[in-house]
Amino acid sequence: MYFNHIIDTLGNTPLVKLNKVTDGIKGTILAKVEYFNPGNSVKDRMALRMIEDAEKAGLLKPGGTIIEGTSGNTGMGLALAAIAKGYKTVFVMSDKQSKEKQDILRAVGAEVVVCPVDVAPDDPRSYYSVARRLNQETPNSFYPNQYDNLSNTAAHYEATGPEIWQGTDGQITHLAAGVGTGGTICGSSKYLKEQNSKIFTLGIDTYGSVFKKYKETGIFDPNEIYPYKTEGIGEDILPKNVDFSVIDQFIKVTDKDAALMTRRLAKEEGLFVGWSCGSAVFGALEYAREHLAESDTMVIILPDHGTRYLGKIYNDDWMRAQGWL
């Protein structure tokens, strides 16, 4: 058996039990390890889905250019699909993203445009605005807009959620995942809650992001927004893919706690994962300590691979410069 293209290998990622970092916690804690996807992240799933849906709708035509704002992983997924299908790619990133992410995207043939992170979303220099402008200026181009493109959620409703349900033989009681665009957690959660409405979904947010307060109060509070270092979760906008009705509770995790837990996952579990994976595990275990029973099964989605963060959280000098080691 062989695959016709690397993108045909995506999905069916393993569930792996956490053994050491869960010391003293009741129940079974499983990690859905998404770095087994060909682009080493969960974003491969929705990247391919957004492209295929755009082709069906006539929004993406042969020889076209895909232009997207990304923190890196969606770009990689789009790039692999573009290689298979013959499209060009331009990715717009904020300057807080690791150099590794920029270099990886260039390696797979993308043009990378870097924008300042500490500007408002509607500022013409923000990566949201620059991506939209480049789309308007480039003939035969398509702007997937992963934040508001509901193909993002659909990819996880149709694949990630069912994989988790089948992988736990329907025994899952809790789902935990970081929230950025919202597609991963909301698509998976919607499917799982349709199978068993008692499943509890925990969204992991970061300090500097609006999600937790918005869920609890219905207020979009600009005072919640400030720069943070963790990549891939949290937002200063409310993406259409974030369906707050399928997320039961949010927990915020600091940059430091996330970084240290990420390193623990590598050292103690052999899971060489990305920064927001540490956020998801730290927040999920904080909840589990108080609320999980022996009979419960919690699944935590780990979105990406550690190679994206070698210059940051896996670099002792960088960690010391933050005061975290």
Residues known to be catalytic: 43
- Please tell me whether residue 141 adopts helix, strand or coil conformation: strand
Could you give the 3-state DSSP secondary structure of residue 120? coil
Residues 96, 228 contacting (CB under 8 angstroms): no
- Distance CA(244)–CA(212), nearest Å, equals 10
Q: What is the DSSP letter of 14?
A: P
Q: Which backbone phi and psi does 288 adopt, to 5 degrees?
A: -60, -35
Structure tokens at 39: 């682009």
Dihedral Cα 231, 232, 237, 239, nearest 10 deg: 180
CA distance 157 to 139: 33
Cβ–Cβ < 8 Å for 191, 161: yes
Orientation angle between helical segments 255-269 and 275-291, nearest 10 degrees: 90
Residue 124 to residues 53, 111, 119, 133, 145, Cα–Cα distance (Å): 28, 19, 9, 9, 16
Place of tokens 């970092």: 21
Distance CA 285, CA 291 (A): 10
Q: Which residues make beta-bridge pairs with 250?
A: 203
Q: Which two tokens stand for residue 46?
A: 């929705």
Helix/strand/coil for 225:
coil
Q: What is the CA radius of gyration of the chain?
A: 19
